[in-house]
Amino acid sequence: MKYEQLAKNIIKNVGGKENVNSLTHCVTRLRFKLKDEKKANTEVLKNMDGIVTVVQSGGQYQVVIGNHVADVYEEVMAVGGFGTASESDETGEKKGIFNSLIDTISGIFAPALGVLAATGMIKGFNALFLALGWLALDSGTYQLLNAIGDCFFYFFPIFLGYTAAKKFKLNHFVGMAIGAALVYPALGGLTVGEPLYTLFQGSIIESPVYITFLGIPVILMNYSSSVIPIILATYVASKVEKVFKKIIPDVVKTFLVPFCTLLVVAPLTFIVVGPIATWAGQLLGAGTVALYELSPILTGIVIGGFWQVFVIFGLHWGLIPVAINNLVTLGYDPVLAMSFAASFAQTGVVLAILFKTKNKKLKGLSLSSVISGIFGVTEPAIYGITLPRKKPFVISCIVASIGGAITGWAGSKVYMVGGLGIFGIPSYINGQTGFDKGFYGAIAAIIIAFILGFVAMYLTKLEDEEVVKEKKNANKDETLVKQEVIGSPLKGKIIPLSEVKDQAFSTGVLGKGVGIEPSEGKVVAPADGVLTTLFPTGHAMGITTENGVEILIHVGMNTVQLEGKYFTPKMKQGDRVKKGDVILEFDKKAIEEEGYPVTTPIVITNSDNYLDVIETDEGNINHKEKLLTVVI
């Protein structure tokens, strides 16, 4: 329940749960797919406490939360009641091929990366213990840890079968069954002995055939840890399943649809989809290495320097499957290695800001960002500190490019999918040779990037650093705390809310604010926003500002009993308003003659969301003059 209110505010400002097609999360972000992104209040979300920023990229509406994203995700799912109904992907909006590709990749890989990294860390530390001589290769401890560390990656097609099926709207267990068939152990034993014959003899895709299916040759491949075959097979299965759903009677769909789908797609995968996808993966791996070997240093500069930019726009998802494919086909990957120093460069820069700044709020944010950055999570640092200040972000990118150049020069490679930050270090240990030049190059890269980032930032002026200003008027305090000034909707005399003759207002149950004894019958918008509520009787209205502040204006006491008499609305519910727009006119004299006081409370109904609501110290006020200051 800790993040319940934040979850409610997020759902409200992404356009309501009816505007949400699907929701997933990664290390720091909630990844929404919205029916209409224009309905989301992006600026309100960006300024909301508990949210770092909002990124719209790759066909996704990404709300960056930070390290506690998993907890917020659970709360949003619970509050929104999201489940299978929210997994619809029909937006009716054309996102383009590139955005669709990034969205598909992230949707398939994001749910699995946490466990993949965790098991990779176990395997990495096991390799470290072996290299240090703490464990023997034939020891039971090593073998058991290796099984735990290798299991997820070895059976990766099964897990990707589930996530890909979820993405392509296929029966999840059909996707897993196809993946399980690909890694079925007994098939590996069929490649022993002399083949029946050889296909494509003399070419680069020469393939021995050991078995046939209904007389059709089957090219048996090693699909353990593979990526592309299961994704393509699941996509094909999603199309095949739709056909069977249309033609098979409802009474037997439960078992006949998966029965028919598996009978068609599984053999098709072994005969056609699997071999083609495997060859494509091998070509992709060879192409990546060929590009890398043209100039490892230059490639490292580009990938290292732009990695954080890729992360901002979610484009790094396009490189992750390439890296995993390289691990499968080559046994190593140089792509992720060249991005390794980026998080340490960012962390070094933020550490310098921590030492330089005199602002307590920025110090606290910097400290938490340094801690998370050491463990490879830099989005809080990027969005909360360096990117808004521009120069620190540029410095971190330049330093990261130097780190990338070092790993390129050293020929650093990752040999397993491991953890982030310092937990990624064991991933650079070569299982065959142990500590080699590539490993030491990766260590040198992160140390140099961290130190250079710190020194470069420490010697650079923090251009937007503000000295805390003390002013005589507490209402004009500018201590770097965000504020929203609410103008007066009325002209008249200000009274404390406690003097309003209505217990719901006077006790503050409805929120903090003031009362006004109006001197004339005109209500204007106190801020830019939306007229979210206008009672049919015209006596009360609610306005939500662009920053999410909710204002209630209630003209008179018990005036609802007038049933709209003497009230003339000038706008309608749902209209956007600008500060000073006339919303309502009322006949003050006639209302009073009917026996109703026109005392008007103005309250902030969501006061609990803010640090404070400060009233003006003026006695009389005119339209639009500062009435309340909401400390955000």
By annotation, the residues acting in catalysis are: 26
Assess contact for 146 and 205: CB atoms under 8 A: no
Can you read off the two tokens belonging to residue 146? 């290796």
Assess contact for 412 and 334: CB atoms under 8 A: yes
Q: Which amino acid is at 396?
A: S
Assess contact for 200 and 182: CB atoms under 8 A: no
Can you read off the two tokens belonging to residue 491? 């002209």
Q: State the Cα–Cα distance between residues 187 and 223, nearest whole angstrom.
A: 10
For residue 584, CA distances in Å to 324, 332, 401, 521, 533 come to 63, 70, 60, 8, 13
Q: State the Cα–Cα distance between residues 412 and 361, nearest whole angstrom.
A: 39
How far does Cα 74 stand from its chain's mean position?
Answer: 14
In 208-295, alpha helices (H) = 228-247, 253-268, 274-294
Q: Which of 433, 427, 432, 431 is nearest to 414 (CA)?
A: 427
Q: Which of 477, 476, 545, 550 is nearest to 513 (CA)?
A: 550
For residue 217, CA distances in Å to 200, 202, 233, 290 come to 12, 18, 18, 32
Can you read off the two tokens belonging to residue 178? 């196809």
What is residue 100's DSSP assignment? H
Q: Which of 562, 511, 514, 515 is nearest to 535 (CA)?
A: 562
Any idea what the Cα angle at residue 432 is, between residues 426 and 433, rounded to 5°? 80
Q: Which residues 6+ apart lie within 8 Å of 395 measured at CB?
A: 349, 453, 456, 457, 460
Query: What number of residues does the chain have?
Result: 632
**List of long-range contacts for 206-209, beta carbons under 8 Å, 24+ apart:** 207/275
Q: State the Cα–Cα distance between residues 281 and 100, nearest whole angstrom.
A: 20
Q: Which of 437, 396, 394, 397 is nearest to 413 (CA)?
A: 437
Q: Which residues 6+ apart lie within 8 Å of 27 measured at CB?
A: 69, 113, 114, 377, 379, 420
Assess contact for 447 and 439: CB atoms under 8 A: no
Q: What is the DSSP string of 443-471?
A: HHHHHHHHHHHHHHHHTS--TT--PPB--
Any idea what the Cα angle at residue 196 is, between residues 194 and 198, rounded to 5°? 95
Q: Which amino acid is at 291?
A: L
Q: Work out the number of other CB atoms within 10 angstroms of the CB of residue 255.
A: 9
Backbone angles phi, psi at 564, to 5 degrees: 95, -10
